[in-house]
Amino acid sequence: MKNSIFNNNTINNNPSKQKNFDIAAWIRFLRDNKVQKIFGDLPDARQKSKVKYPISALAMWAFNLCAFRQGSKNCLQTTLDSLSKKDQEGFAKLLGIENHDIPHSSTVDYGLSRIPHEEINKIFLNQIDALIKKKLFYNHSELSPGNTLNIGIDGYWIHKYDHPHSVDQEGNNTCPYCLPRVHKRGTPMEKTYWVHAFVTVTLVAENFVLPLYIYPLKAEQVDVKKNDADLKQECELTAVHNILPFFRKKYPRLSMTFLGDALYANRPFLCLCEELKLEYMIVLKENLKIVNKKCDELSTSEFYQKHYTHKEKEILNGSEVKRKAEWFNNVALGEDLYTNVLRFEETEDVKKSYKGQWLCSKKLFQNNCFKVAKRARMRWNHEDFHNTCKNRGFNIRHDLARAEPNLLIVWKIITFLAFFFFELFRHTTLVKVAKKARSLTKFARDLLGELLNITWELIEKSPILQKKRVQFRFHFGTGP
């Protein structure tokens, strides 16, 4: 007899009727968002006479591997191989396969390798269009504070290789995305290794991040002779000057605010924001000395101290939080370019403190200074997004494909797609109740456990799968 997972972790809105399993909710969520159809619309370059599985089934195999946070193809394949045909039925149904013959991971790789990775990248913005049409942002103003969408951009390196992972017959590197790094150049200890650089564009809100676009850098786009720190910055700047014009062209009327670190506090980028009519909140450090000097001078003025500063106190979780803001409008950057500067301090019972300052496109006043500071600090959610992708089950550092560069990128983008849909799913009120004290990683893995340990006959009888219409409600706050 199969191990049953009939426990308090399963959704049970009405104990007198058939149980609503967590996995049933995931299946219904994917159906309502037409994920299988989305994958089915991808171009399929395989020879039709030799095709056994639709491209949608192969993409769903990869997508759910990442959503269930299995970490590697081998992990999921080993699990599936250990099951009987009958026990594989649930997973087959999830893929949209009527028989129980589940494709092998090598078959999945072959099908995905024929899809240009840009075709999969388009899915993110298509889904944003769908969310706008469904009025998600209209109904949840917390996702667009100030009636604007916060956009973040950040880069990271993954996949460190001691030897090129894709080579020709002579052993030469054939991966256009491999950036060579030479350490101890010109010495007997000289060593070359290769990395991949990705820049992610995200929609950022409090406790919520959605990836919007994945930009893999090619070696020909950057100066690979630069040191690691300078090259990483060049990767981000190269990407942002390509991505933002593309975004503005696609969404000419959408209000967007760019949240960036100090790398973007420079004249060329601020001019780009003005040209694209893009609002911004950018960390200010020592890289714009003329701006800091001007603000320092003004801050000593009695007039500024009286009219351009604001303080507030708040009791938060039993602790007294004190905040102070200073602002400086119309600070000149030369050649008819002006910006606004916000300085912010926060202390909590003297023990915890935070200081930050930002360049802001919009003018600052007493009634908006703390709201602006709160939004500007949301940029750190993008940093945590990368941390989740690396360390909380998505295992983004693992190269799910190696020999074929396009397939490697395809797998990477599918991983982010899995994050995209699971991020929405976890914010449904249904999941917030069902997850209880489990971490999101355990909850995701338990979904697969239910799929493989509960018969499909029971899962498909879940009320959430039987109903003709289901409305998923969302809660994006930090509370229950």
- Pick the residue with more confidence: 425 or 391? 425
Q: Provide the CB-side half-sphere exposure for 480 (13 A, CA).
A: 4
How many CB atoms are located within 10 Å of the residue 293 CB?
A: 10
Q: Give the list of residues 6+ apart from residue 305 with CB closer than 8 angstroms, or none.
A: 299
What mean pLDDT is predicted for residues 191-197? 93
- Pick the residue with more confidence: 22 or 392? 22
For residue 227, pLDDT over 70 is answered with yes
Tell me how far apart the alpha carbons of residues 202 and 377 are, in angstroms, rounded to a whole number.
15
For residue 7, pLDDT over 50 is answered with no
In whole numbers, what is the pLDDT of the chain averaged over residues? Answer: 92
What mean pLDDT is predicted for residues 6-33? 71
Q: Are 337 and 318 in contact (CB under 8 A)?
A: no
Q: Are 258 and 202 in contact (CB under 8 A)?
A: no
The pLDDT of residue 20: 85
What mean pLDDT is predicted for residues 325-332? 96
Distances (CA, A) of 301 to 298, 306, 409: 5, 9, 55
Confidence of residue 411 (pLDDT cuts 50, 70, 90): very high
Q: φ and ψ at 114, to 5 degrees?
A: -90, 0
Q: Are 434 and 195 in contact (CB under 8 A)?
A: no
The pLDDT of residue 18: 64
The pLDDT of residue 157: 87
How many CB atoms are located within 10 Å of the residue 207 CB?
A: 13
Tell me how far apart the alpha carbons of residues 268 and 271 are, in angstroms, rounded to a whole number.
5
Tell me how far apart the alpha carbons of residues 157 and 399 are, in angstroms, rounded to a whole number.
12
Confidence of residue 6 (pLDDT cuts 50, 70, 90): very low
Distances (CA, A) of 150 to 153, 157, 209: 10, 24, 10
Segment 394-408, tens digit of pLDDT: 998 888 998 899 999
The pLDDT of residue 17: 56
Q: Are 198 and 121 in contact (CB under 8 A)?
A: no
- The DSSP H or E segment spanning 314 is strand 309-316
pTM of the shown model:
0.92
User: Nearest-CA neighbor of 425 among 69, 29, 92?
Assistant: 29
For residue 2, pLDDT over 50 is answered with no
Segment 335-378, tens digit of pLDDT: 889 999 999 999 998 778 999 999 999 999 999 999 999 999 99
The pLDDT of residue 9: 39
- pLDDT > 90: what percent of the chain? 81
The pLDDT of residue 210: 96
Q: Are 405 and 174 in contact (CB under 8 A)?
A: yes
Segment 44-60, tens digit of pLDDT: 999 999 999 999 999 99
Q: φ and ψ at 191, to 5 degrees?
A: -145, 135
Q: Are 472 and 426 in contact (CB under 8 A)?
A: no
For residue 10, pLDDT over 70 is answered with no
Tokens 């694209």 correspond to what residue? 276
What mean pLDDT is predicted for residues 370-390? 91
The pLDDT of residue 478: 61
Tokens 């017959």 correspond to what residue? 169
Segment 86-101, tens digit of pLDDT: 999 999 999 999 876 8
CA 285-267-363 angle, 5° bins: 75
Report the b/e string of 9-28 with b at 16+ CB within 10 A: bbbbeeeeeebbbbbbbbbb
